[in-house]
Amino acid sequence: MRRHVVLILAALAGLSIQLVSREPAADPRLKSAFRHPENNGWIFVHLEGKPRDIGFQHGWLLAPEIADAHKVTALLATHDSDKDWQFYRNAAEKMLWPKIEAEYREEMQGITEGLQARGIKLDLWDVVALNASIELSGYYAPWYDLQRKGTPTAAGVVADRCSAFAATGSYTKDGRIVIGHNNWSDYLDGQRWNIIFDIRPASGQRFLMDGFPGRIHSGDDFGVNSAGILITETTITRFFGFDPEGIPEFVRARKAMQYAASIDDFVRIMKEGNNGGYANNWLVADRKTNEIGSLELGLKHVNLRRTKDGFFGGSNFPVDEKLAREETGFEVKNPSVSANARRARWAQLEAEYKGRIDVEAGKRFLSDHHDSFAKKNDPSERTLCGHIDLSPRGSKPWQPEYSPAGAVQAKVADAAMAERMSFIASMGHSCGIHFNVVEHLKKHPEFAWQKPLLRDLNSHPWTVFRISP
């Protein structure tokens, strides 16, 4: 009996040594990195150092969230298509990887190493495909089918993703910039867009951005860097076109967040090697010059507007008529579609709030439920705070009736916050409306395929985040 006890104790001692060796402190790459406990739905993560170290920290600290995010991303990318996840992995390896510069290759390799150190069995191509999932499913897959079948049978239709604004000069309360954005997504992945990244790279600017587990870029693109550049965007809906020889959009978006020190820098980085993937109307602001810009980045057509006294609203509509005609299937003259109804609402708010726009006004904008087409307050796909789950129309061709999708979080910043490397954010619908999975699936069982991974989406209070001292 005594011999068995000794053997058991020895085995436990060996296990404890093994467990200690896996503690974060055992790896010097984790010395400066940390994550805070969840705060009003958000997880704050600080990453620091060389690219591979930043990647390792990311993979280690967010390993459970990345594993979960991978399941969701793979489900959404494959559900409505004839493409399996291996198709996206192959595209990541053979098409995208050769165009990715060394710094971001290193970072994604580091993420993979961090995941594997935590026992998560995802490899490099899973990580690259996760980073590129938006441009692969919505842009590359239709292009791929068009080349082989003659018809662009998309793995997913380019979505009405996001509402955003930027204002400066006589439009704001103090004459300085204010910028805001809410993320429209399927609730499946939107519920996971709850990371606040504070990244201090060995080269380039330090930056604070919202993000998604496992991605080196924001993905919905809201952030501020230490050079005073604030960045956000809204997708150009129903866009088509892709250049497989170009630089992946997620690489250019991350590079711009990290290296842009002016609006000119931002435009140059986003245009260089443009592949047409994740085509957006980018809103960018420079707190040093008090200037805002709107970069409509199509594949064939690129348009830049900039001003030190003005307002730009974004809600997925194409601005340039030629871009709309030649690169989208958008219904420009239909006022009932989501993008046009929200565009009209931005025009109303721009006129109503001129001279009074500040952070509080921005929070009201992104929580707004006025349907400019129906001329009433009614949360739906036509309101700046989107609630497709409440709409009998859905948001076609992206989402069917009552689909669990819409605004999933929101962020606002002004020049004073940018100086402190800070912004305010709300997880869930910032208007206060909650989404309950059980109740919704009971009414709409056609979405039961999402049940294993779909969660409640609760509305949380606005919370201020800033870089770690």
Distance CA 66, CA 344 (A): 38
Residue 154 has a pLDDT of 52
Report d(CA 124, CA 115) in Å as an integer. Answer: 10
What's the pLDDT at 17? Answer: 30
Count of Cβ atoms closer than 10 Å to residue 373 Cβ: 18
* Backbone phi, psi, residue 72, to 5°: -65, -45
Q: Of the candidates 313, 304, 317, 410, which has an alpha carbon nearest to the alpha carbon of residue 357?
A: 313
CA distances from 422 to 145, 259, 261, 285 (A): 43, 18, 17, 14
Report d(CA 179, CA 304) in Å as an integer: 17
405: β partners: 186
CB 225 within 8 A of CB 257: yes
pLDDT of residue 4: 39
Distance, in Å, from the CA atom of 466 to the CA atom of 228, rounded to the nearest integer, reads: 14
Q: Which amino acid is at 175?
A: G
Rg (CA), the chain: 22
Whether the model pTM is above 0.85: yes
What DSSP string runs through 146-169?
Answer: HHHHSS---SSPPP---EEEEEEG
Write out the DSSP string of 254-282. HHHHHH--SHHHHHHHHHTTB--TT-EEE
Per-residue pLDDT tens, the chain, 469 aa: give them: 333 333 333 333 333 333 333 454 579 999 999 999 999 999 999 999 999 999 999 999 999 999 999 999 999 999 978 899 999 999 999 999 999 999 999 999 999 999 999 999 999 999 999 999 999 999 999 999 999 887 766 544 677 889 999 999 999 999 999 999 999 999 999 999 999 999 999 999 999 999 999 999 999 999 999 999 999 999 999 999 999 999 999 999 999 999 999 999 999 999 999 999 999 999 999 999 999 999 999 999 999 999 999 999 999 999 999 999 999 999 999 999 999 999 999 999 999 999 999 999 999 999 999 999 999 999 999 999 999 999 999 999 999 999 999 999 999 999 999 999 999 999 999 999 999 999 999 999 999 999 999 999 999 999 999 999 8
Question: Residues 393, 324, 277, 140: is their CA dihedral positive or negative?
Answer: positive
Burial 207-233 (b: 16+ CB within 10 A, else e): bbbbbbbbbbbbbbbbbbbebbbbbbb
* Nearest Cα residue to 309 out of 354, 261, 262, 364: 354
**Greatest CA span in the chain, whole angstroms?**
85
Element (H, E) at 235: strand 229-235
pLDDT given at position 5: 34
Can the peptide bond before residue 397 be classed as cis, meaning omega within 30 degrees of 0?
A: yes
